[in-house]
Amino acid sequence: MSFGGFLENTSPGGGGGARFVADIPYNNNNNMSTGAIAQTRLVSPSITKSMFNSPGLSLALQQPNIDGQGDISRMAENFEASVGRRSREEEHESRSGSDNMDGASGDDQDDNPPRKKRYHRHTPQQIQELEALFKECPHPDEKQRLELSRRLCLETRQVKFWFQNRRTQMKTQLERHENSLLRQDNDKLRAENMSIRDAMRNPSCSNCGGPAIIGDISLEEQHLRIENARLKDELDRVCALAGKFLGRPDIFVSFSPWPSNAEFKPGTCSG
DNA sequence: CTACTAATCCCTT
DNA sequence: AAGGGATTAGTAG
């Protein structure tokens, strides 16, 4: 079986007939479409170093999942493919996308041959080293990348791509983390809202806990206030008269049995 | 089908 | 020219 289109077994019998698939750059139609989309893309703020050090991310930002690569045979396959690709890339150096169409101009068997994207996976060791540096510095300079590429037998381009992609991955993880936090908040608020609505639908008396009818309460309160004012008036008059007769005009203040005004609260029941 | 990842393309700085 | 965002395409689960 081929891996990533670098090695292709041309003999179904498996008699060692593996050959390199021609390194063909992308279709230009592809460029057109991506270019058109790129015009309308949203520009998001660039990642800052502090984003990577966000304390809330310790769980979300674990090592990348390289589970499948525990398979020894595939690791070897990776390595072979990687080495094969590298030797080819030395021939086709610095291909910058659509400007390199020599595959089409040269031994083009088809007018539109299937374009295969070069694909491989870095080895766990390589990833481990890359991750280690990423932890230290998510944005290494050229010197650091060069050093790393030498150590890992990777192209500087590959190292650059890896860091680029890793930063993107980090950003999406951060966004996911934030999204989940927001979702939690949202759920909480929604539950709160529901309970408030419920309480509004079935109001209860703050004094006795029994059912309360809001409309009735305000009506009753009005009656009580009128009655209260009437009694106060009456008491006023009586006190004034008493004071006149007893020669103590201040008697009202000390005599008055009525509490201060804010006595009737909404939400009390009629019982 | 979905998630992940290496690589590509185009644009901005 | 380098880096970043959007995107593509190969692969595994």
Cα–Cα dist A98/A222, whole Å: 84
| Mean pLDDT comparison of A26-40, A107-121, A182-196, highest-scoring range | A182-196
Per-residue flag: A134 CB under 7 A of strand B: no
pLDDT tens per residue, range A160-183: 889 988 888 888 888 888 888 888
Per-residue flag: A35 CB under 7 A of strand C: no
- Determine the average pLDDT of the residues in A27-37: 31
* Percent of chain A predicted with pLDDT > 70: 40
- Tokens linked to A39: 């015009």
Per-residue flag: A161 CB under 7 A of strand C: no
d(CA A109, C1' C9) / Å:
22
- Tokens linked to A194: 């529901």
pLDDT value, residue A170: 85
pLDDT grade for A189, boundaries at 50, 70 and 90: very high
pLDDT value, residue A213: 60
Residue A121 has pLDDT above 80, yes or no: yes
- Tokens linked to A165: 């992609």
- Determine the average pLDDT of the residues in A83-102: 33
Angle (CA) A103 A110 A15, round 5° = 85
- Cα separation of the two ends of chain A: 85
pLDDT value, residue A7: 29
| Mean pLDDT comparison of A7-21, A25-39, A60-74, A185-199, highest-scoring range | A185-199
pLDDT value, residue A194: 92
Residue A107 has pLDDT above 50, yes or no: no
Whole-prediction pTM: 0.47
Cα–Cα dist A263/A231, whole Å: 15
Per-residue flag: A254 CB under 7 A of strand B: no
Per-residue flag: A33 CB under 7 A of strand C: yes
- Tokens linked to A129: 């080293």
pLDDT tens per residue, range A243-269: 654 554 443 433 344 444 433 334 444
Nearest residue (CA) to C1' of B9: A31
Cα–Cα dist A219/A182, whole Å: 44
CB A110 within 8 A of CB A27: no
Residue A60 has pLDDT above 80, yes or no: no
